[in-house]
A = this chain, B = another copy of it.
């Protein structure tokens, strides 16, 4: 457990709380709690009451909706600086998703009432939260579009291209099964498609590392798929 004294510095580095004046920061620091979560541990489960908001300081969190048979559909990943759980907090409804740590993580937790008070004091905080929710809404709409309007290959290629890469190489940040769920595929299908791309000479896969020798060619492959659909 890290010492409580970290909290002020930690907070001031989060997008949500940047540029707060000293008084505000002190108030928020008092209101916040550190939460350490080990890899594979759950932050909350579906049905838990949502009376606060989390911000990821370090680590990564997976938001997913559990299915009947032990399956799950991954909704989104959160990394350092991202806030999650706000939407359910504002609605005063229990979580309909579950949050699980994909790495050992450090979270900041803020109670709804303290946040309410902070918003009253500083409207810019509200605006930042509105911006944050808007980003999430945007990505969700994009995901819905992706799942409904693109086929499996397009989704995989888009994902590969969307991930940060250096020297023409990208990394799967998590297990392939989890990525597959995020893309709305089974692990088997993802595996087969990666194999297909490899056969086509567009990528080469080694564990979590993917080499993309010709990005333009891969993009072209995706548009070829688009043409097939229309």
Interface residues of A (CB under 8 A from B): 65, 67-69, 71, 73, 75, 86-91, 93, 96-97, 116, 119-120, 123, 126-127, 129-131, 133-138, 140-145, 147-149, 184, 226, 229-230
Contacts and interface: CB of A to CB of B under 8 A. Distances in A.
Of the candidates A65, A90, A127, the one having the most CB atoms from chain B within 10 angstroms of its own CB is: A90
B67 A149 contact: yes
A229 B71 CA distance: 11
Contacts of A141: 65, 75, 96-97, 140
A82 to B, nearest CB: 14
Nearest to A141: B75
Contacts of A119: 123, 126-127
Nearest to A135: B91
B68 A230 contact: yes
Contacts of A65: 141, 144-145, 149
Given A65-B144, A88-B138, A126-B126, 11 more contacts: A71-B149, A73-B149, A90-B130, A90-B134, A91-B131, A96-B141, A119-B123, A119-B126, A123-B126, A130-B133, A148-B184
A142 B42 CA distance: 21
What is the predominant secondary structure among interface residues of chain A facing chain B? helix
Nearest to A86: B134
Given A119-B127, A126-B119, A137 B136 contact: yes
Contacts of A96: 138, 141-142, 145
Of the candidates A73, A93, A141, the one having the most CB atoms from chain B within 10 angstroms of its own CB is: A141
Nearest to A121: B123
A113 to B, nearest CB: 13
A179 to B, nearest CB: 14
Contacts of A75: 141, 144
Contacts of A140: 137, 140-141, 144
Contact of A226 (B68, B116, B120): B68
A134 B230 contact: no
A190 to B, nearest CB: 15
Of the candidates A73, A75, A140, the one having the most CB atoms from chain B within 10 angstroms of its own CB is: A140
